[in-house]
Amino acid sequence: MHTDWKNLFEELWNQYRTVTPSAEKIHQLLGESQGREIVNDHIALRTFNIHPVGLDALAQHFLALGYHPGGEYHFKAKKLFARHYEHPAPGAPKVFISELLVDQCSPALQTIVHELVSHVSTENVKAKDFLYSGRHWELNYETYQALLKESEYAAWTAAWGYRANHFTVSVNHLEQFNSVQAVNDLLKAHGYTINGSGGEVKGSPDDLLEQSSTMADRVPMLFADGEHLIPSCFYEFALRYPKPDTGELYRGFVAASADRIFESTNATG
């Protein structure tokens, strides 16, 4: 386990940037116009609800760092459950962890996923580097495609394993941009594709959270039977609004928006 959240997020960022070239470029593009650092609002992790890799096992790494569980979110059609975690220290990113409810999937998917997860031990999951340890199993492109037909989430998680699937620029902390729309406009002018599922800006001031994201980069992945280009990770932009009762910025997520953000790792065309 890490003893310092900053160190954990540094490791996660270093792993993420190697498969998400656009994130580093966008980070520079947004950072160029301001004197202070880009603030990371949150990251997200994906897993299967199977021992020993379930959501709670991943969350242990954050609880050990002083994180607390926040809201819970259900995604019925995608067969996902998620919970977010937050930390009292100013600047500590929030964490969104989801898991595929494998028992609700087809017998064929269940067989594949149980075989993959059988390569992971409890010791692996408890290891300090688990959250950025990638894939623990061999995977054929054919198996990846079989998963893809039923669940894009299952295919992504099988291919990429344990890593942050996105980091999130806090738009509240940008000096030159005060809306998600303005960030989207800049990115589109630079040729990036914004996830348009459910609209390019997801959520509203009433939801206390507005978000957008790029479509994941496509990078070469080495499968057991050769190399193929597949979607990797994406970058997100979030603007939080103050809660009417306390005036503090909203710290939760919005299920309807999250449902569409998951689709940022879909293959485009």
Taking the complex as a whole, the smallest distance from the CB of residue 76 to Ni ion amounts, in Å, to 19
Query: What is the C-alpha separation between 161 and 154, in angstroms, rounded?
Result: 10
- Under the binding rule (CB under 5 A), the answer on residue 99 touching Ni ion is no
Interacting positions 228-247 with Ni ion (CB under 5 A): 236
Interacting positions 26-45 with ligand OOG (CB under 6 A): 44
Looking at the Cβ atoms of 23 and 44, the one nearer to ligand OOG is 44
- Under the binding rule (CB under 6 A), the answer on residue 258 touching ligand OOG is yes
Taking the complex as a whole, the smallest distance from the CB of residue 258 to ligand OOG amounts, in Å, to 3
The two beta strands, 234-240 and 166-170, are parallel
Number of other CB atoms surrounding residue 131 within 10 Å: 23
List the single partner that 165 binds among ligand OOG, Ni ion, none, CB under 5 to 8 Å by kind. Answer: ligand OOG
Stretch that binds ligand OOG, among 24-32, 108-116, 128-136, 250-258 (CB under 6 A): 250-258
- Under the binding rule (CB under 6 A), the answer on residue 46 touching ligand OOG is yes
Q: Is the peptide bond preceding residue 52 cis, with omega within 30 degrees of 0?
A: yes
Between the alpha carbon of residue 240 and those of residues 34, 168, 179, the distances in Å are 19, 12, 10
- Under the binding rule (CB under 6 A), the answer on residue 96 touching ligand OOG is yes
Residues in contact with Ni ion by CB under 5 A are 236
Residues in contact with ligand OOG by CB under 6 A are 44, 46, 96, 98, 165, 211, 236, 253, 257-258, 261-262
